[in-house]
């Protein structure tokens, strides 16, 4: 029996869609609000319009974020909210992070 046989299996990897730094900030902000519009996210994340648009498209495409568009005073308003899938994925990400960083698996 090698020394590797007695070692516990490695923990599950962190969700790469959420783990990317910009998307982690976006998901964290959305987790704290009911909904956020594009300009609010732009201001709170510090991303450029292009970067925010690109990351939002990935999160919407994965089903982690819901996007609604409407016109208010003849201007388009785009709002985002975490979907149930996104909220569950973020909860799991945080639990995985605690497990990875605590070393005990119990979050101590």
| Domain range summary for the chain, segments of one domain joined by + | 16-93
Q: Are residues 62 and 55 in contact, defined by beta-carbon separation less than 8 angstroms?
A: no
What per-residue confidence (pLDDT) applies to 48? 97
Please identify every stretch of the chain with a pLDDT value under 50, giving residue numbers as ranges.
2-6, 107-108
Return the number of other C-beta atoms located less than 10 Å from residue 73's C-beta: 5
How far apart (Å, rounded) are the C-alpha atoms in residues 8 and 20? 27
The model's pLDDT over 9-36, given as tens digits with 9 standing for 90+, comes to: 566 689 999 999 999 999 999 999 999 9
> CATH topology for 16-93?
Arc Repressor Mutant, subunit A (1.10.10)
Global pTM value? 0.81
Tabulate helix, strand, coil % of the chain (nearest 5).
Answer: 50, 15, 30
What per-residue confidence (pLDDT) applies to 107? 46
Q: Which H helix or E strand runs over 77?
A: strand 75-82
């Amino acid at each position: 029996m090698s020394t590797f046989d007695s070692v516990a299996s490695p923990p599950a990897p962190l969700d790469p869609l959420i783990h990317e730094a910009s998307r982690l900030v976006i998901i964290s902000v959305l987790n704290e609000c009911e909904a956020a519009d594009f300009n609010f996210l732009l201001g709170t994340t510090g991303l450029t319009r292009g970067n925010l648009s690109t990351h939002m498209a990935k999160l919407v495409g994965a089903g982690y974020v819901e996007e609604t568009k409407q016109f208010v005073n003849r201007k388009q308003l785009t709002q985002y909210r975490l979907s149930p899938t996104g909220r569950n994925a973020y909860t799991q990400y945080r639990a995985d992070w605690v497990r990875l960083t605590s070393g005990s698996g119990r979050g101590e």
